[in-house]
Amino acid sequence: MDNVTVILPVHRLDEKEKDYFANAVKSITTQKIEKKPKILVVVTNEELKKEVESFDYDEKIKENVKVLINDGETDFCSQINFGVKNIETDWFSILEIDDEYSMIWFSKVEEYMNHYNDVEVFLPLVLDVSPDGKFLHFTNEPVWAPEFSEKMGFLDNDSLLNYPNFQTSGAVYNKETFLSVGGFKKGIKLHFVYEFLLRMTYYDKTIMTIPKLGYKKINMREGSLFYGYYNEGSEKIRVDEAKWWFNQAKKECYFKQDRGITYEEEVTT
Amino acid sequence: MENVESMGGEKTPDLKTVLEEQIKNLEEKKSSMYFFVMDTKGNPTAGMANIYKHVKTLIELGYDAKILHEKNDYTSVDSWLGKEYGELPHVSIEEQQLKVKADDFVFIPEIFANVMEQTATLPCKRIVISQAYDYILEMMMPGKRWADYGITECITTTEKQAEYVKGLMSGGLKTYTIPVSVPKYFKPSEKPKQPVIAIHTRDQRDMVKIFKTFYLKYPHLKWFTFRDMRGMPMEKFAQNLSECCISVWVDEISGFGTFPIESMKCDVPVLGKVPNMVPEWMEDKNGLWTHDFNAIPDVLANYVQAWLEDASPEELYEKMGETVKKYTEETQKEKILEVYQQVVDNRIEEFKFKLETLQPVNNEQ
């Protein structure tokens, strides 16, 4: 799997986040494959770069780690888009700092790539847990349910319109495909994943869920991106606005570029 | 050919000639072997498939084997077993052109006690093929045994069944065992297994109970599909089975247990309820076996959760591989040759014995 780069955006590294970072990196080190993926850590400033570079990486992956500063916009989507433009491999995956891969994930991706060579995005079966580690649910699995999508195991536009809850972290993407549809749009706020998948399927890109546990995600961790959208603070989005962004995602998916739309509260007279 | 049943010394040479000719027919494989089957109306059954397999193999080995059915409008097995089986020689009883000779054989499935009774006066050798021991008494008159219909030999699929029928029909019954084989098109899928559960239960209600309980108790696994394996053409059946991550099998009265062997051949682990007659291939570690029907959904959930993590026990797959090695088409072919030749040889011995008992009488005259 030396043709895959894991993009790991880091905004800060306080004590708790150092632990998360160590855990995330460990989940790459412990992959059950000989050739570990490359790692690109995208940071926001020089100080953070030094801190990430000085981390005590395992010998198995030490040579694979590269740290880059994105001195442009530093939201999650921009960090990923920046990372994708700077990788040297044909494939990449996104790892959030507080999440982890399962040990089998990249060996499974390798296996499925050999059997499904037309697939452009391999989604993992995501294990969603609460901040205290309790099982909540799986994500990305419905494509395997009977009659969910046109082809069992594959995501299509019609099924996404009926069921929007899919996750892209942990997935392995073809770089060219990602760039060809325009990458992530930060302007879609909390529904950027949904809009991206709608756009991918609208442009007939092939997305498959590998029916194996590939990624463990902590839901609503305090300080995470989505926590900010749902809880008090500057990022909090009200229900009306969330619905508006959801509908906007369905409209914006036809456009490859981020059109920078802004929320306009409906005014009734 | 003259009527050899007439009394009188001058007829004895004819009987001798007839017996010699019958022996010659048997030795030269000119005697016919009729395998009576029921019309399943296009519905696949493992027992039927096995009988057709015997016939096909016997023809390949040079015997004159035929499928014998009751009505002219018999439904061909083409659609589910394949054209090569549909094209095997078939004979209809209804046509009334069937002439069974003394050196011929009629093989009758265990359930057809009525056929055993109706054919009791035929001059040929009749042998029971018992694959489903639970059906033996289904149509038997109380107190009757096969010997009462002149049947003293039986072919089964397992030693356990052979012991069972011997015990049931009491002394004198000669048994032969020919294990079932699994065709080569049962093989692991080329692509990775899918979150699909193959399910095969004798009683459809069992299947419904299992998947409803599973979905109720494990809603987070509701995206696993249960695939009912009944009623499919054989090659499609094999293809579908090979894609599944596990198969579930419930058949209390199974005589052999073909489905689990087919699953194992496809590299699909089996979760099964232990049948009343424990199959001889069943071992602790070549499947997930339980005596408790109600435990099946729980064992299934445990297994599929392990499968999602790629944590299925390796030993299970090793043991499955060892188990299926015994049930190849090659092994079965050897056994078919051995058993049917034995059956023929026994018949030859019977005729020779008759021949020998004739000669002293001639000498005295």
Residue B259 pLDDT: 96
Cβ within 8 Å, pair B220-A144: no
Cβ(A154)–Cβ(A208) below 8 Å: yes
Tens digit of pLDDT for each residue in A32-67?
A: 999 999 999 999 999 999 999 999 998 888 899 999
CA B201, CA B180: separation in Å to the nearest integer?
Answer: 19
Please state at what angle helix B329-364 crosses helix B12-27, rounded to 10 degrees. Answer: 160
Q: Best mutation site among B218, B221, B308, B314 for testing chain A: the one with the most A CBs within 10 Å?
A: B308
Is A67 domain-assigned? Answer: yes
Query: In chain B, what percentage of residues exceed pLDDT 70?
Result: 94
Q: For the domain that residue A220 is a member of, what is the CATH number?
A: 3.90.550.10
Domain extent for A125 = 4-252
How many Cβ atoms sit within 10 Å of the Cβ of residue B271? 26
Of B192, B223, B308, the CB nearest to A111: B192
CA B304, CA A63: separation in Å to the nearest integer?
Answer: 37
Nearest CA in chain A to B196: A144
Average pLDDT in chain B: 92
Cβ within 8 Å, pair A211-B308: yes
Total structural domains within chain A? 1
- B136: alpha, beta or left? (left if phi > 0; alpha if psi -120 to 50): alpha
Of A104, A116, A146, the CB nearest to B225: A146
Tokens of A211: 């029916």
Of B355 and A138, the one with more pLDDT: A138
Pairing between strand A154-155 and B32-36?
A: unpaired
Distance from CA of B247 to the nearest CA of A (A): 17
Token pair 């435990």: residue = B295
Q: Is the pLDDT at B136 greater than 70, yes or no?
A: yes
Is A263 domain-assigned? Answer: no
How many Cβ atoms sit within 10 Å of the Cβ of residue A24? 22
Residue B3 pLDDT: 38
Q: Look at residues B267, B303, B192 and name the one whose alpha carbon lies nearest to residue A110.
A: B192
Distance from CA of B250 to the nearest CA of A (A): 23
Residue A232 pLDDT: 60
CA B95, CA B200: separation in Å to the nearest integer?
Answer: 37
Residue A184 pLDDT: 95
DSSP tag of A132: T
Is A259 domain-assigned? Answer: no
Cβ(B102)–Cβ(B123) below 8 Å: yes
As to burial, measured by CB atoms within 10 angstroms (0-12 exposed, 13-18 middle, 19+ buried), residue A132 is exposed
Nearest CA in chain B to A101: B309
Write out residues 164-223 of A within 8 Å (CB-CB) of B.
Answer: 211-213
Is the CB of A153 inside 8 Å of chain B's CB atoms? yes
Name the band, by pLDDT with cuts 50, 70 and 90, for residue B2: very low
Is A236 domain-assigned? Answer: yes
Write out residues 201-240 of B within 8 Å (CB-CB) of A.
Answer: 220, 222-225
Is A105 domain-assigned? Answer: yes
Residue A188 pLDDT: 83
Is A109 domain-assigned? Answer: yes
Nearest CA in chain B to A32: B310
Tokens of B193: 């297994």
Is A267 domain-assigned? Answer: no
Distance from CA of B249 to the nearest CA of A (A): 21
Is the CB of B309 inside 8 Å of chain A's CB atoms? yes
Is A12 domain-assigned? Answer: yes
Domains of chain B in sequence order: 9-180+330-364 (3.40.50.2000), 194-326 (3.40.50.2000)
